[in-house]
């Protein structure tokens, strides 16, 4: 059964994480995820947000995640789906696809 549109959040900065050599930037990861998810699941809708942790944040939840990243609790980019961590640092697509499929997404034929 398909749940409501999942919310995908990508937290990070324009600077590449020092521990993630050769990985794309957080913004590049956001754009890549948006394109890859739309291509694989063209009939399913979702929301995706990019949150720059170095910019002033007004949303308290965003502030908390940004602080946790800045305190080295997580690497960035940090990817959440409906508030649950699905990847950090060097992002792999398969765990994201698997999580979306648990939310009722089905791949295009």
Confidence class for position 19, pLDDT limits 50, 70, 90: low
CA distance 35 to 39: 6
Q: Is the pLDDT assigned to residue 20 strictly greater than 70?
A: no
Rg (CA), the chain: 14
Distances (CA, A) of 18 to 2, 33, 36, 57, 100: 38, 21, 25, 23, 29
Q: Is the pLDDT assigned to residue 92 strictly greater than 70?
A: yes
User: What is the per-residue pLDDT for 45?
Assistant: 95
Q: Report the CATH number of the 7-82 domain.
A: 3.40.30.30
Encode pLDDT of 26-64 as tens digits. Answer: 999 999 999 999 999 999 999 999 999 999 999 999 999
Q: Is the pLDDT assigned to residue 1 strictly greater than 50?
A: no
Beta bridge partners of 49: 9
């Amino acid at each position: 059964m398909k749940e409501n549109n999942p919310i995908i959040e990508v937290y990070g900065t324009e600077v590449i994480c020092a521990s993630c050599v050769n990985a794309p930037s957080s913004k590049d990861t956001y754009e890549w995820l948006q394109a890859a998810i739309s291509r694989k699941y063209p009939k399913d809708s979702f929301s995706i947000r990019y949150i720059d942790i170095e910019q002033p944040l007004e949303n308290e939840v965003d502030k908390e995640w940004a602080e946790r990243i800045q305190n080295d609790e997580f690497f960035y980019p940090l990817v959440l789906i409906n508030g649950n961590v699905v990847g950090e640092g060097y992002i792999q697509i398969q765990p994201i696809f698997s999580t979306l499929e648990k939310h009722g997404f089905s791949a295009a034929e």
